[in-house]
Amino acid sequence: MHLPASAPRPALGRRPFLPLLTAGVAGVLCVSSARAGTLSAPPAPRPNVVWIIADDLGLALGCYGQSQVRTPHLDRLAAEGRRYTHCFTTAPVCSPSRSALFTGRYQTAIHAHNHRTARPQPLPAGVRTLTDHFRAAGYYTVNLEAPAMSRGMRDPRAGAGGSGKTDFNFAVERPYDGRDWQERAPDQPFFAHVNLYAPHRGTVWDELRHRPDHFDRATLPLPAYMPDHPVMRDDYANYLQAVELLDEHVGLVLARLEREGRLKDSIVVFMGDNGEPLYRSKQFLYDGGLRVPLLIRWPDGRHAGTVDDQLISGIDVTAAVLGLAGLPADPSMHGCDFLAADAKPRDHLIAARDRMGLGSDRMRAVRTARYKYIRNYLPGIPYMQLNPYKEQSYPPWNLLKQLAHDGKLTPAQALFAAPSKPFEELYDVTTDPDEVRNLAQDPAHVGALRELRAHLDRWLADYPDHGAVMEEPLDVLRANAAMARKSGLTPLE
């Protein structure tokens, strides 16, 4: 029986408490007794919370071991705070992922699962946004819009002050109070979203091609699913260059906080809204599309330079952000405050992919520490179905189709260009991080297959999944046309 979108999340299977984690940063508990219910007023002054979200960012950062990329400002943030290695968003593209992040609920449960929703509706009864909680506690809520151009960039979206992006798949009248924390009342604490456009594709990438870079394209290591081709290598290097631009912008945001004396009273959270903007990553349920960096810096220096490997969902970050400010937990959220004193770690995560532009599909995934399970509800639709956005913006997308036609792909590379998908996919991500060896038919892994199937079946029973109902085709066409015009692409109408 399905629960309403606002129902508390039922307890799923959890591993025992991990005593090696520092008290107060123990793991994940869906409703923490330490924060649920009525709390006494948090001690004054209350901390500001600055949540920096980068568009389309995977783990290509120096602090995550990517030695080719120079990210000194994000490396500093990691050194002064805690770095989380296994954070995953609930969707592999911005609008459903951001809809989930802003509410702490699975996008599939609130009609926000398609990219983008053709007819956005108000949130279901009882669903409150993150800023609703902060506003009720007396915080001034900000979606920072203060472009600060850098190094000759011409595209205003390359501004380091914040792009102002929301991209929600629901209608909301007042998501934020203002556009800059300077607008708040004296001594009023603030919650600020800082949305940075890089490393999203677009004119920023085009401009970056005219700037010198230090990447040796011939020696860049490529994953097994990428053909070794100059177009592929150049595209990957362009992404890494955009990551370095992002780091520059993060540095400017941190510099402003420091200049204004805000670093000493602000908690800084940094993450990506979904995975990397590469042809097999963004829009798909492989780790490249879901796995994002997560860094948290406390003003008192606690946990500086530490690393946490627990599984964290993007909607868990939403719940934890409330707790960071000392605000009461919202038991109706689907996410879990992994920073609560009595929290317990997850043993699995759920993610979903639905329509992307014109590309209608339905995929659901379960990720554990060792395995990734993907269920393809429409196996007759290929991964590389009609996709005007990728056809116009991703040179490797068209390259792969051409190489497949010419018979020049390895077996691992040809999987993505196949005319159909398997019903199920199972990958041992510890031995196959590129997710190219499907073990769903391997008898040696039948136990894992059954376990992850059961996790997904329980999730489907516990939460509404509105992706099971297809949309009106003309609504899909209109939504795609609106998205194309907004992105400067050629709409199909």
Which tens digits make up the pLDDT trace of 244-293?
A: 999 999 999 999 999 999 999 999 999 999 999 999 999 999 999 999 99
Report the CATH number of the 48-344 domain. Answer: 3.40.720.10
Secondary element (H or E) of residue 248:
helix 230-259
- The whole-number average pLDDT for the span 393-403 is 97
Fill in the DSSP letter of residue 297. E
Instruction: Return the CATH number of the domain spanning residue range 363-487.
Output: 3.30.1120.10
Q: Which residue has the higher pLDDT, 388 or 34?
A: 388
**CA-to-CA dists, residue 56 to 93, 132, 136, 198, 208, angstroms:** 8, 26, 31, 8, 16
Average pLDDT, the chain: 88
Residue 328 CB-half CA count within 13 A:
14
The distance in angstroms from the start CA to the end CA of the chain is 39
The predicted pLDDT at position 157 comes to 52
pLDDT band at 11 (very low <50, low <70, confident <90, very high): very low
Residue 73 CA to residue 94 CA, distance in Å, equals 24
| CB distance 387 to 358 below 8 Å | yes
The whole-angstrom separation of Cα 336 and Cα 424 is 28
Q: Which of 346, 381, 347 is nearest to 363 (CA)?
A: 381
pLDDT for res 137 = 97
pLDDT digits (tens, 9 = 90+) for 128-137: 999 999 999 9
Q: Where are the beta strands (DSSP E) in 72-189?
A: 82-88, 140-143
Task: Give tens-digit pLDDT for 417-454.
Answer: 999 999 999 999 999 999 999 999 999 999 999 999 99
Residue 16 pLDDT exceeds 60: no
pLDDT tens digits for range 67-80: 999 999 999 999 99
- 387 half-sphere exposure, CB direction, 13 A CA radius: 24
Burial class (CB in 10 A: 0-12, 13-18, 19+), 185: exposed
Mean pLDDT of all residues in 347-373: 96
Q: Reply yes or no on whether the pLDDT at 207 is more than 50.
A: yes
Q: What was the pLDDT predicted at 26?
A: 29
24 against 318, higher pLDDT: 318
Under the banding of pLDDT at 50, 70 and 90, the label for residue 161 is low
CB contact set of 428 (below 8 Å; sequence gap of 6+): 370, 371, 437, 439, 445
Same fold, 48-344 and 363-487: no
Strand order in the sheet with 140-143: 140-143, 190-196, 48-54, 266-272, 291-297, 82-88, 306-313
User: Which of 44-48, 63-67, 84-88, 243-247 is the least confident region?
Assistant: 44-48
Strands of the sheet containing 424-428, edge to edge, are: 349-353, 363-367, 371-376, 424-428
- Tokens standing for residue 141: 């809520």
Confidence of residue 41 (pLDDT cuts 50, 70, 90): very low
What pLDDT sits at residue 487?
A: 65
Q: pTM of the full predicted structure?
A: 0.89
Q: What is the CA radius of gyration of the chain?
A: 21
Supply the pLDDT for residue 164. Answer: 85
pLDDT of residue 302: 96
156-165, 249-258, 372-381, 384-393: lowest mean pLDDT where? 156-165
Average pLDDT over residues 5-29: 34
What is the model's pLDDT at position 12?
Answer: 36
- Domain locations in the chain? 48-344, 363-487
Segment 296-308 shows an average pLDDT of 98
More confident residue, 207 or 49: 49
Least trusted range by pLDDT, from 109-123, 274-288, 347-361, 420-434: 109-123
Residue 173 token pair: 């009248």
What local confidence, expressed as pLDDT, does residue 30 receive?
A: 57
Number of other residues whose CB lies within 10 A of the CB of residue 136: 11
Predicted local distance difference test score (pLDDT) of residue 308 = 98
